[in-house]
Structure 1
Amino acid sequence: MSSAYIDTYYSRTVATSETYPAATGRIQADVCVVGGGLAGLTAALKLARSGRKVVLLEGQRVAWGASGRNGGFVSAGYATGLSSIERRVGKDQAKELFRLSMEGVEIIRRNIDDLDTEDVMPVPGIAKALRYDSRGALQAGCEAQRRAFGLNLRYLPRDEVRSLFVSPKYHEAILDESAFHFHPLNYGRALAREAGRLGASIHENSPVISADLDGAQKTVRTKNAEIAAEHVVFTTGGYTGAVLPALKRAFLPIATYVLLTEDAPELVQSAIRTRAAILDDRRAGDYYRLVDDGSRILWGGRITTRTTDPRDIATLLRREMVTTYPQLAALKVEIAWSGLMAYARHLMPQIGQLRPGVWYCTAFGGHGINTTAIGGTVIAQGITGESDRYRLFAPFGLVWNGGILGRAAAQLTYWSYQATDVAKEFRSR
């Protein structure tokens, strides 16, 4: 029997009900993809389009983890800023990486168009809003990015910001009109359907229990199957097991939380008067958007190294929402959920080749959807020999996560971000 998705807005509005059988028997393939999130599905689809025989193993359901329960934001960039990337790799490679992130947005847009699936429901526009006055820095940064990368950005001064987001908290914003937000679970399932149509074998409820990866021919085992393949691609995220220890040691599982409000269109419109999604620019900030034709809010925020769900997820997030929009004090929460993301210490995705024929593609926390598209694409290109662009990520490899101390340091860093954000807001009052 197939395991269920956890209860989220996305699982409640999933478009189709197809399932995929667990893997059984001895299977020969060109490529075995371990992990059925957006990165693994993107890689499987691209490899299937190139004529490779692909087997994808998912321990739960397609897009069951963070891939199918996130905020649904698709925009260029990474979890860390361009200046941090420049310090590690130099300006030229940093620009190449950023352009690759722009390509990631277009990969997803193109897949949506090609798959012709209305249930993905893309909506244009993501606004990055500030809770303090940057004194011209935000507008200057907007102009610089527009000149350097041709991004379709528009600066919003305070009056315009507060007409769209009716909150005294916001001072200014940048609207990225080439970014969009959508239904990630329906998108992931559409990728799986198309990969399957092209010949890829998709298997749910097939967790990998062991792997022999040293020879030219790799062997991956589940409870009831043995897959032999020339290439194995690990695209697991925050729920990664211990089959590939180097991968599990290289990132931290970080939890984030999301809520869905009740259906109350008039109340919702009293606060948010745009269909663009809103990304709070605080490092410890919120992200939210309207769903169901503007009648509900999907609100996400807070991160923690605690991997079990707090009992008061809804209370925690609702407090943030009402603090931002006091007029929503009567708005009830219908459901709240959480999910684990994978974060590397350098805050970049981990994309590359561990040894001949063994590939990794993970750590998408903080900017997941765009970077899953990049990762799945460049790994598939590396396997087919189409390009070696995966090497651009070599400086951001499988760095040890620090273990328990690393988790404590991540939580302390998050709290320090919160303190810095509060100080900035206070100075702008």
Structure 2
Amino acid sequence: MQPYVNSYYADTRNSGREFPILDQVVETDVCIIGAGYTGLSSALFLSEAGYRVTVLEAAKVGFGASGRNGGQLVNSYSRDVDVIEARYGARTAEVLGSMIFEGGDIIRERIAQYGIECDYRQGGIFAALNPKQLRGLAEQKRGWERYGNDQLHMLDATDIAGQIGSDAYVGGLLDKSGGHIHPLNLALGEAAAVIKLGGRIYEQSGAVDIRYGEPIVVSTAKGQVRAKYLLIAGNAYLNKDLDTRVTSKSMPCGSQIVVTEPLSEKVARELITNNYCVEDCNYLLDYYRLTADNRLLYGGGVVYGAREPDDIEQLILPKILKTFPQLKGVKIDYRWTGNFLLTMSRMPQFGRVEKNAYYMQGYSGHGVTCSHLAGKLISEMIRGDAERFEAFASLPHMPMLGGRTFQAPLTAMGAAYYALRDRFGV
């Protein structure tokens, strides 16, 4: 049995139903492997469209990145529209650009529609550490405004000092269409909505074998699902041997988070005046926000290959004190690692492995919003409207440099180069 990792989110999750272990043969329209955001969003859209849906989860709902992430609703993809246009052309950029704010809208709609209690707060800041990053944010603002975001505000040094109690930043960009949530409670609320609509979710029921055909047969340790369609949505926690066509072109990476003891209301507001979430603009970025009970949640760094570091607090606490030296002596109550799935292009990987079997994965650190968009796109695809899904599926899925043996060290070398550029503002 795999319980939740020891985290702030697990300790403050909403009480709810337990999901059974699959111990029988189940007939369904769509079988989904993975009960994270990709699987849950897909299950919810498909259930709303009248499909019988069965979700298989190897551990617990939201066990992976969906229940461990920083809780930030950040628009766009891990590569923004300007990079997409330079790599793939204006037409592809136009199609993908038209969707960059849709994931956040979907989350807000789900929260309202199903009454999900997940501490949603509006607004996020991209914080610039040097003039080059600030110029980049001005370009980002112009690009996002082209696609309809009218909730963006540039911040100069005085403005950002009024928002964040740190002297680390020269300016920033406030996106009021961003925000932050309790990510595990969002996942649990979406799972409850799936059940309410007649869907089925099985925990501790990892897929161990897939037999493609009509129907597709997915086997677990104790049961079996027979389905017209299959969606593989395990991301960084997918069994790497389940289908190597899906798992061979990406790499799990770890990100670390710590949460402080509760802070006084006065101290909390001095740190982040308007309770926005914050991320800096470095290649290996840091991100932070306040929780509903006024703790500082702070994350950063990447461990390539998803190894768990020996001392998470020792990695993150110096970052906190560099940003907020006034917190010297603060106690850390929680610390954990969560894995996300990195692709070579840093773009999501959507595709088809058989005529009735699909996969969606590899959000490269931007999964909260994009995974919710993914659920809508696969629902459109199965219902016969393939255009938007295919816009992603047509992107090349490049293998990671170095294969399975050398991909982690080679990627880390590349990241170190960009981290050095960040350090010197070049």
Match of 2:284 in 1: 284
Measured after TM superposition, the shift of residue 171 of structure 1 is 0.2
- Relative to structure 1, is the Cα distance of residues 212 and 139 closer, same or farther in structure 2, using a 3 angstrom cutoff? closer
Note closer, same or farther for the CA distance 1:143–1:338 as it changes in structure 2 (3 Å cut).
Answer: closer
Alignment CA distance shift 1:135-1:61 (3 Å): closer
SS in 2 for 1:219: strand
Q: Which residue identity is paired with 2:337? A: S
Instruction: Please give the per-residue CA displacement for 1:365-415, whole angstroms capped at 9, x wherever unaligned.
Output: 211111101111101211122443100112334432232222222111221
For residues 320-374 of structure 1, give each alpha carbon's deviation from its aligned partner in whole angstroms, at most 9, with x where no partner exists: 1101221111212111100111111110111122220010011122111111011
Among 119, 122, 129, the residue aligned to 2:120 = 122
- Report deviation, 1:136: 6.7
Partner of 1:322: 321
Equivalent residue letter for 2:314: T
- Take 1:209 and 1:26, find their aligned partners in 2: how far apart are those partners? 15
Instruction: Report if aligned partners of 1:129, 1:173 keep a CA contact under 8 Å in 2.
Output: yes
Distance 1:296 1:228, change over 3 A: same
C-alpha separation in 2, matches of 1:260 and 1:352: 37
Q: Alpha-carbon deviation of 1:162?
A: 1.4
CA distance in 1, matches of 2:134, 2:252: 36
Alpha-carbon displacement from aligned partner over 1:240-273 (angstroms, at most 9, x marks no partner): 1111111110110000000000112244444332
2:401 aligned with 1:403 = no
Counterpart among 214, 223, 226 of residue 225 in structure 1: 223
**Greater CA drift, 161-170 or 226-235:** 161-170
| Contact 2:36 2:63 (8 Å CA) reproduced | yes
Between the aligned partners of 1:360 and 1:53, the Cα distance in structure 2 is 18
For 1:286, the aligned partner's letter is: D
- Is 1:412 the counterpart of 2:413? The answer is yes
| TM-score, length-scaled by structure 1 | 0.94
State the match for 2:52 in structure 1: 53
- Equivalent residue for 2:192? 193
Aligned residue number for residue 149 of structure 1: 147
Q: Secondary structure at the match of 1:100?
A: coil
Deviation at 1:156, TM superposition (A): 0.5
Give the conservation status (yes or no) of the 8 Å contact 2:156–2:172: yes
Find the counterpart in structure 2 of residue 347 from structure 1.
346
1:238 counterpart = 2:236? yes
Alignment of 1:170-185 (within 5 A): 170-185=169-184
Distance change (3 Å), C-alpha of 1:147 and 1:210: closer
What letter matches 2:131 in structure 1?
D
**CA RMSD for the aligned pairs?**
1.7
Q: Structure 2 counterpart of 1:38, which letter?
A: Y
What's the offset of the Cα at 1:278? 0.5
CA displacement at 1:134 relative to structure 2:
3.2
Deviation at 1:63, TM superposition (A): 0.8
State the distance in 1 between where 2:133 and 2:199 align: 53
Mapped to 2, the partners of 1:143 and 1:252 lie a distance apart of 31
- Residue identity opposite 1:330 in structure 2: G
Tell me how far 1:99 sits from its aligned partner. Answer: 2.1
Equivalent residue number for residue 424 of structure 2: 423
Tell me, what secondary structure is at the counterpart of 2:237?
Answer: coil
Q: Which deviates further from its counterpart, 347-356 or 152-161?
A: 347-356
Does the residue aligned with 2:143 lie in a helix, a strand or coil? helix
CA distance in 2, matches of 1:166, 1:12: 28
Counterpart secondary structure, 1:134? helix
Structure 1, 137-146 or 252-261: larger mean CA deviation? 137-146
Cα distance in 2 between the residues matched to 1:199 and 1:343: 33
> 1:326 and 1:382, CA in 2 relative to 1: closer, same or farther beyond 3 A?
same
SS in 2 for 1:227: strand
Q: Secondary structure, in 3 states, of the residue corresponding to 1:238?
A: helix
Q: How does 1:318-397 map to 2 (within 5 A)?
A: 318-397=317-396
1:256/1:136 CA distance change after superposition, 3 Å? closer
TM-aligned CA deviation for residue 276 of structure 1: 0.6
Three-state SS of the structure 2 residue aligned to 1:287 is strand
Note if 1:20 corresponds to 2:19: yes
**Other structure's SS at 2:236 match:** coil
Q: For structure 1, which runs of at least 5 residues remain unmatched after alignment?
A: none
Once structures 1 and 2 are overlaid, which stretch shifts more, 137-146 or 331-340? 137-146
Q: CA deviation at 1:142?
A: 5.0
Unaligned runs of 5+ in 2: none
Deviations 1:288-343 (A, max 9, x none): 001124x2100010001142321210111010110122111121211110011111
Give the length in aligned residue pairs.
421
Assess if the C-alpha contact under 8 Å between 1:351 and 1:397 holds in 2.
Answer: no
Which whole-Å CA distance do the structure 1 matches of 2:171 and 2:55 have between them?
A: 45
- Are 1:3 and 1:205, in contact at CA under 8 Å, matched by a contact in 2? yes
Counterpart CA distance in 2 for 1:85 and 1:312 is 37
Q: Deviations over 1:52-84 (max 9, x none)?
A: 111110000011000111011112211112222
Structure 2: distance between partners of 1:271 and 1:232 = 46
1:256, 1:340 within 8 Å by CA — same for their partners in 2? Answer: yes
Matched with 2:111 is 112
- What TM-score comes out, normalization by structure 2 length? 0.95
1:380 counterpart letter in structure 2? S
| Amino acid across the alignment from 1:289 | R
Contact 1:287 1:301 in 2 (8 A): yes
Tell me whether 69-78 or 265-274 shows the greater mean CA deviation.
265-274
Cα deviation, residue 17, structure 1:
3.3
Asked if the contact 2:277–2:289 (Cα under 8 Å) also holds between the matched residues in 1, the reply is: yes
Determine the C-alpha separation between the residues in 1 that align with 2:359 and 2:94.
23
